[in-house]
Amino acid sequence: MHSIPIVYQHSDFIVIDKPTNISVHKDAEKIGLTSLVAQQLNVPQVWLVHRLDKVTSGLLILALNQNAASELSRLFAEHRIQKTYLALSTQKPKKKQGLIIGDMEKARRGAWKLCTTKQNPAITRFYSVNCEPNLRLFILKPQTGKTHQLRVAMKSLGSPILGDALYGGNFDKVNRTYLHAYRLQFEYKGQFFDIQYLPKSGSFFQRNSVQAQFEQLTSV
């Protein structure tokens, strides 16, 4: 395997660009992601403090010591690390922007579904822009961290993520699920971090119409 891109390096943690279709846990692979990164850095261990779905690419923080792992895990648990994702869909949404709120429960085949109840809801803020006919870019800001939250939220809008086989996103035409963890904003030990990294893989992410929207996004 090629080396994992390191986007940012701090004495206590690193931020990598997790490739799509690599699990953050060992999964069925002979060697897990954290072991791969530890080998690459020539250190005994790195610590996982949050997770991304196997199909999702993008920014993932790995702690370099136990104290940093505890502190970063606490920041995630307290929702003090703001995350922004980018997604593509070929389906027009029920609404172009807003909040998606609802409890999530397990469905069939390892999927989840959004319910109308709001006892312990998943909350996602989103807005979307048209790139070209039948292709729309979504900017997603989860306020909670539920399993498959963004994929379920997009399906509930009538706009499943392009390439998402589990949630009906035209997966026969494409080579990946078009969901990418683009931005992390947080304060750590008195320093504010705003780390951004656009997706580097996926032909639809590289289309001129999508790249034009990325330019708008990064100029804000």
Active site residue 17: no
- Whole-number Cα distances in Å, 95 to 100, 134, 140: 10, 15, 14
Check 53, 103, 172, 194 and give the catalytic one.
Answer: 53
Catalytic center residues:
53
